């Protein structure tokens, strides 16, 4: 069994990090069958990528779908020749054992998708008020995720993989959901993995498990501009909006199942820790983040 690794890029200003991401894939202990670099509607970036990687095992192609991460990922899935497709963000660097740990999960035929830990690399000092329970704001693993391999509803898109046939059968990533350029929305991977699981269950197929494997590690760059209250606020609101889109697609019960446990268990413990450690601003950020995400969700549902 082999994997095609898909790296989607959209910004020439992130070029050096895109190169690092591709290099990290080429340096894997478990070699990828191919690396697919998909450029999202940026002719200048496409030209640079094609000049840099003219030959296999790297293949460069433009996003043939709608502008945005979902369209770019679908383009990569359509190009892929392997049974497994893995996704790495263009500003993330994979540890050498990353792909091997992801691939190991597929020895179990019931596993339809597997993702790993996304470790933040902060471009500036982490603000004292920023709660680790909200590291999902910057696309990274957060307090509350399992610390050992476990079944989950969905994994983080910066570090995920899936059986290609299952992704295709489920209809791929919805182009109306997910990040377009710098707009801080997301949840396209959540929507896909819920639909994928639903489809497998209805069809009576074995493949219906999504696995989180924290040993599969990537290091994700977090620019200083994202370590601000302004971005925290915008991203929490956008997450609520995105969850409303997912709920409209798959139903609110499935869309919010993990969030209920996170809200009732993880966040109260985080607030208690913040208070006991003399960090009232961190406790306030937890309350504010939950309120903002809820407001984004409710507002989007009310607007239809």
Please name which of 4, 163, 19, 31 lies closest in space to residue 93, comparing C-alpha atoms: 19
203 pLDDT band, cuts 50/70/90, is very low
Give the integer Cα–Cα distance in Å for 189 and 282.
28
Q: Which H helix or E strand runs over 115?
A: strand 111-122
State the DSSP code for 256: T
Average pLDDT over residues 194-210: 66
Reported as a single tens digit per residue, the pLDDT across 244-270 is: 888 876 777 776 778 888 999 999 999
Does position 204 have pLDDT exceeding 70, yes or no? no
Q: What is the pLDDT of residue 246?
A: 82
Predicted TM-score (pTM) of the model is 0.92
Q: What is the pLDDT of residue 202?
A: 44
Domain extent listing, the chain: 3-228
302 pLDDT band, cuts 50/70/90, is confident
| Lowest mean pLDDT, pick from 19-28, 59-68, 90-99, 243-252 | 243-252
Average pLDDT over residues 167-189: 74
2 or 190: which leads in pLDDT: 2
Average pLDDT over residues 277-301: 94
Q: Tell whether omega for the bond before 57 is within 30 degrees of 0, i.e. cis.
A: yes
Pairing of strands 150-151, 209-222: antiparallel
CATH for the 3-228 domain, from 3.40.640.10, 2.60.120.380, 3.50.50.60, 3.90.550.10: 3.90.550.10
Average pLDDT over residues 227-235: 95
Does position 62 have pLDDT exceeding 80, yes or no? yes
């Amino acid at each position: 069994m082999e994997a095609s690794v898909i790296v989607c890029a959209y910004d020439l200003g992130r070029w050096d990090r895109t190169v690092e991401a591709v290099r990290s894939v080429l340096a894997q202990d478990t070699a990828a069958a191919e690396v697919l670099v998909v450029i999202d509607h940026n002719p200048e970036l496409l030209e640079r990528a094609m000049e840099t990687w003219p030959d296999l095992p790297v293949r460069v192609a433009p996003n043939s779908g709608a502008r945005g991460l979902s369209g770019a990922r679908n383009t990569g899935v359509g190009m892929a020749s392997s049974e497994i497709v893995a996704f790495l963000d263009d500003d993330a660097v994979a540890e050498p054992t990353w792909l091997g740990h992801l691939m190991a999960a597929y020895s179990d035929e019931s596993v339809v998708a597997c993702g790993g830990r996304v470790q933040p690399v902060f471009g500036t000092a982490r603000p004292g008020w920023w709660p680790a329970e909200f590291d999902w704001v910057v696309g990274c693993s957060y307090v509350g995720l399992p610390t050992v391999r476990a079944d989950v509803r969905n994994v983080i898109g910066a570090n995920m993989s899936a059986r290609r046939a299952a992704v295709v059968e489920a209809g791929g990533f919805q182009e109306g959901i997910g990040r377009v350029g710098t707009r801080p929305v997301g949840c396209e991977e959540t929507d896909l993995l819920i639909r994928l699981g639903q489809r497998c269950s209805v069809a009576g197929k074995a493949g219906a498990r999504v696995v989180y494997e924290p040993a599969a590690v990537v290091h994700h760059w977090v620019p200083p501009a994202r370590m601000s209250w302004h971005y925290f606020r915008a991203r929490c609101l956008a997450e609520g909006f995105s969850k409303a889109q997912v709920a409209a697609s798959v139903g609110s019960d499935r869309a919010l199942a993990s969030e209920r446990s996170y809200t009732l268990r993880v966040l109260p413990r985080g607030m208690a820790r913040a208070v006991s450690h003399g960090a009232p601003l961190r406790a306030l950020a937890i309350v504010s983040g939950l309120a903002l995400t809820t407001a984004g969700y409710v507002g989007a549902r009310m607007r239809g």
